[in-house]
A and B are shown apart, each in its own frame.
Chain A
Amino acid sequence: MSAGDIETTAVEARVETPFQRFWSEFRESTIALIALIVLALIVLLAVLAPWITPQDPYDLAQVDVLDGKLPPGSEAFTGYTMWLGSDGAGRDLYSAILYGLRISLMVGMASGVLALIIGTAIGLVAAYAGGRTETLIMRAVDIQLSFPAVLIALMLVAILGRGIDKIIIALVAAQWAYYARTVRGTALVESAKEYIEAARCLGLSHTRVVFRHVLPNCMAPLIVIGTVQTASAIALESTLSFLGVGLRQTEPSLGVLISNGFEYMMSGRYWISFFPGLALLVTIVSINLVGDQLRDVLNPRLKR
């Protein structure tokens, strides 16, 4: 869908699909648009990593310790230029960062989606069931939200140990409550409206009312929370990995790369931590900027 035909629909026919309206409002912020493009680029780079990097940094046959700790722009032993330098083990940092991005994004999105599904389900149950169930669930949510996410994640990591699966569990456990609270709030507002009453009067089943009528109308705030929480999941994972209690060396996310570079920082070899950190930073900031604009566009209170 090109920008051109959206405009023609918007101006001439004046019949917009909700997506077209959303998109034309989203485009109004240049910063958000740039952030979206940057984000798309980052995802593309991460997906295409094996085909666009000069080296597979975790294939021992392609890594030479003699190339270790080279400053940015140096020529590698095997011929190509290491534009971002190399790390202690002789891995090309550009390649390592793209491979690291894959892992960071995967962990962030997996835990984001899982937390969204679980949190939404729990929030819907709370809103629809009401009474004692609701009080119990919302008390649990309140209690959990009174602890910072980093503490809950640390607690679970202390119990479960390290590794991708365990980190995802820890991140989901640290974040589901945000979704549950949001969904429950929106679902309560929606349930009080006439169309839900109408749906119930038609004798539709509970499942149908909840999933076909209530849930679709709760999506807007969910999408906003989802983007912001995914960014914070990525940040949280890299923090845990940096502390040495997150992912293992064999699952080198950006946090692991930064952590590896820390020991070389004191001797002035900044690039081993700096560039992975920059990649992390750009990822998180662009997701947050997109999320900010999503909130402005999707918030019905700000509708013009």
Chain B
Amino acid sequence: MTVFIIRRLLQAIVVVFLMSLIVFFGVNVIGDPVDMLINPEADQAEIERTIRALGLDKPIHEQYLFFLKGVASGDFGKSFIFGEPALKLILHHMPATIELALVSLVMAIVLGIPLGLYAGLFPDQRISRAIMAGSILGFSLPTFWVGLMMIMLFAVYLGWLPSTGRGDMAEFLGIRSSLWTRDGLSHLFMPALNLALTNISLVIRLTRAGVREAMHQDYIKFARAKGLTTRRVVGVHLMKNILIPIVTVLGLEFGNLLAFSVVTETIFAWPGMGKLLIDSLLQLDRPVVVAYLMIIVLFFVIINLVVDILYSVLDPRVRLRDQGT
């Protein structure tokens, strides 16, 4: 077990290291670092000063070490636009993104499981077919277009929900969030639903497949034979068994939610780090872009590491297979 964790940990460190190499070479070798890292509005004297400060007059391997040192100490340089350290800017925008991702995760569970359960228990009904067809659409529709259509319908034509921003926030239990106010919730609803669509479809399919498989298992037959009510068979015996894969997949999907929030945040002008990335890309604010990329890579590596370790705890075969190779 310890060997497995150490191996995975080493692997994670290698990935972060490789990614830093890719980002570094992308910015400094493929692109022109003077062009990318120095404010285009700077004058000649300032350009030369910054070149020296960034160590761009040094050979390439020394530059890379310099970059690594900056990354390790959390120093990605200052944003050209805001004049603040890039890392601070991103951490400042992170809570909004995490709030959005968490709410859409909850939506995926709350909407996906009952719909999938229905489709699995009554597979031949017309409503079930409609649910399954809808879940195919949820997979193939481009998120951004669905978001646009939601704005058109709910914000422009019906005028029910606001289409941009985060709304009023309040503090509760030490967490500042839009969840605690009516206005905040109305702002949160559309972007969260938009972000959740793919996962709702995913949960519907997983739940349905799980139900269809479990219904023929002996433990369900036995529970029925004992004379338990359908409600109890489905709610306790069935749910307990099909929840495991759903929870695992959703845990893995959390990273994807963070990545896809880039799209949703841009459409709904949600002030999270995804929107910050796109704004920075468009305004050529490179320090922020580099910082975002490194942080999101770190995020993914950590999520994958945690999932891998959890898997190996739950399923020893994974661990053994890994040691075999």
Interface range for B = 35 or more
Which residues of B (298-325) have their CB < 8 Å from a CB of A?
A: 300, 304, 325
Contacts A146-B300, A146-B304 known; A242 to B144 CB distance under 8 Å?
Answer: yes
Enumerate A225-281 residues with CB–CB distance to B below 8 Å.
231, 235, 238-239, 242-245, 258, 262, 265-266, 268, 270, 273-274, 277, 280-281
Secondary structure class of chain B's binding surface, majority of residues: helix
Contact call B163/A158, Cβ cutoff below 8 A: no
Chain B 141-177 near chain A by CB (<8 Å), digits 1 or 0: 1111100110110011100000100000000000000
> What range describes how many residues of A lie at the interface?
35 or more
Bound complex: CA A303 to CA B142 (Å): 33
| Pair B156/A266 contact, Cβ less than 8 Å | yes
Contact B259 A265 (CB under 8 A): no
Give the contacting residue for B281; candidates A151, A157, A284; CB below 8 A. Answer: A157
Q: Which of B31, B148, B260, B293 is close to A150, meaning CB atoms less than 8 Å apart?
A: B260
In the assembled complex, the CB of A280 is this many whole angstroms from the nearest CB of chain B, namely 6
Contact indicator per residue, chain A 137-159, by CB within 8 Å of chain B (1) or not (0): 00100010011101100111111
Q: What 1/0 mask marks residues of chain A from 52 to 84 whose CB sits below 8 Å from any chain B CB?
A: 000000000000000000000000000000000
Q: How far is the CA of A160 from the CA of B52 in the complex (A)?
A: 25
User: Are B145 and A244 in contact, CB atoms less than 8 angstroms apart?
Assistant: no
| Contact code string B52-83 (vs A, CB < 8 Å = 1, else 0) | 00000000000000000000000000000000
Query: Would you call B282 and A277 a contact (CB within 8 A)?
Result: no
Q: Does A133 contact B (CB under 8 A)?
A: no
- What's the least CB distance linking B2 to chain A, in Å? 21
Say whether B145 contacts A258, CB under 8 Å. yes
Which of B18, B27, B145, B267: most chain A Cβ within 10 A?
B145
Closest to A266 in B: B156
The residue on A at minimum CB distance from B155 is A266
CB distance from A294 to the nearest CB of B (A): 15
Q: Roughly how many angstroms separate A10 CA and B152 CA in the complex, as a whole number?
A: 52
What is the CA–CA distance of A281 and B22 in the complex, to the nearest angstrom? 34
- What's the Cα separation between A53 and B289 when bound, in Å? 41
Closest chain A CB from B251 CB (angstroms): 13
The distance from the CB of B6 to the nearest CB of chain A, in whole angstroms, is: 17
Q: Which of B15, B142, B156, B255 contacts A235 (CB 8 A)?
A: B142
Which residue among A151, A235, A274 has the maximum number of chain B CB atoms within 10 Å of its CB?
A: A151
Known contacts: A159-B27, A159-B30, A284-B142. The answer to whether A245 contacts B148 by CB under 8 A is: no
Contact of A143 among B15, B136, B256 (CB under 8 A): B15
Contact between A150 and B263, CB atoms less than 8 A apart? yes
Cβ of B89 under 8 Å from chain A: no
Complex CA gap A301/B221 in Å reads 29
Pairwise interchain contact B143-A239, C-beta atoms closer than 8 A: yes
> B293 and A158: CB pair below 8 A?
yes
A285 interfacial contact with B, CB 8 Å: yes
Question: Whole-angstrom distance from the CB of B213 to the nearest CB of chain A?
Answer: 17
* Chain B proximity of A156: nearest CB distance (Å): 8
Bound state CA distance, A159 and B26, in angstroms?
5
> Residues of A at under 8 Å CB distance from B?
135, 139, 143, 146-148, 150-151, 154-161, 231, 235, 238-239, 242-245, 258, 262, 265-266, 268, 270, 273-274, 277, 280-281, 284-285, 288
10 additional contacts (CB under 8 A) given A150-B263, A245-B282: A135-B325, A139-B11, A151-B259, A156-B26, A159-B31, A243-B263, A243-B266, A258-B148, A268-B156, A270-B152
* Residues of B that sit less than 8 Å from A by CB: 11, 15, 18, 22-23, 26-27, 30-31, 136-137, 139-145, 148-149, 151-152, 155-157, 163, 255-256, 259-260, 262-263, 266-267, 277-278, 281-282, 289, 293, 296-297, 300, 304, 325
Closest 4 CB pairs of A and B: A159-B26, A277-B145, A151-B259, A148-B259
